[in-house]
Each structure stands twice: as structure tokens, then as C-alpha cells.
Amino acid sequence: MRKPIEIRQAHFPGRAPIDSYGNGGFRFAEMSHRGSLLMLPSGIYGWDMVEGDPLTADYFQRVFEEAAAIEVILVGTGKDIRPLPAALKAKFKEHAISSDPMSTGAAIRTYNIMLAESRAVAAALIAV
């Protein structure tokens, strides 16, 4: 008897640039992922966030857990730029993380450059 398909939380245990994005997902490291992503020093994680969801600290808990290895987080807010709420910016600042909101496309381009420069960068990318 066959085992049923096991669905696990998406995780890529490494760092990789984003090769392409759109249609609700991303391509990186010769793989594809539907949905949003957290790009952290410990790896790439599926992120339960869609365009229009409120940007609250709860969604960034994994980022705060890795704060010692992150200097900058790029927040790709979807098709258009959305400002980060003051409480979220303060929480990033409390963890010594500089935050920069921008459209998801701009965040990907900036992330890829900073990653190539071996910078302590993370990205939270809302799928478009």
C-alpha cells in the first residue's frame, strides 16, 4: 500500500538568489514555490502572507529569532509599495534590523545584489 503524500512546511536550507517571480510564486535554486517567502540566513521558508494582509510583528517572528545575523530586511509588499506600520518598524529597530519596504520586484532585485555582496540581508517577499 502506498504512503499518502506528506505535505511539509516549505524550507530550503540555504541561501539563493531569486531567478524569477510572478503568477503567485517564485523560482530559485532550480525549484519553484507558490506563495510568499521569507529569505533568511538559515534558509528560505514558505511564508503565510498574501498581498493586503496586515503587516504585524507576528508575521516576522522567525526574522526576530535570527536578528543577530541580519542587518537589513527588505520587505516586498506586493505589486505596490506599502509603508510599514510604526509598531513593526520599532520592533525591527529594537532588534537592530534596518527595514526597507518596497514593491516585491524591487525587493528581489535589491536582495539579489546584496546577497551577491555577502551582506547580512534578509527579505520578506509577498507573492505577486
Q: How far apart are CA 1 and CA 117, in angstroms?
A: 50
Alpha helix ranges (H) inside 7-101: 61-65, 86-94
Candidates 106, 116, 115; CA nearest to 125 is 106
Q: Residue with C-alpha cell 551577491?
A: 116
Section 68-79 average pLDDT = 98
| CATH top class, domain 14-125 | alpha beta
| Residue 57: CB atoms within 10 Å | 15
In three-state secondary structure terms, 43 is strand
pLDDT at 9: 62
pLDDT at 7: 45
Residue of higher predicted confidence among 47 and 5: 47
pLDDT digits (tens, 9 = 90+) for 5-27: 444 466 777 899 999 999 999 99
Q: Tell me the domain boundaries of the chain.
A: 14-125
73: amino acid identity, one letter: I
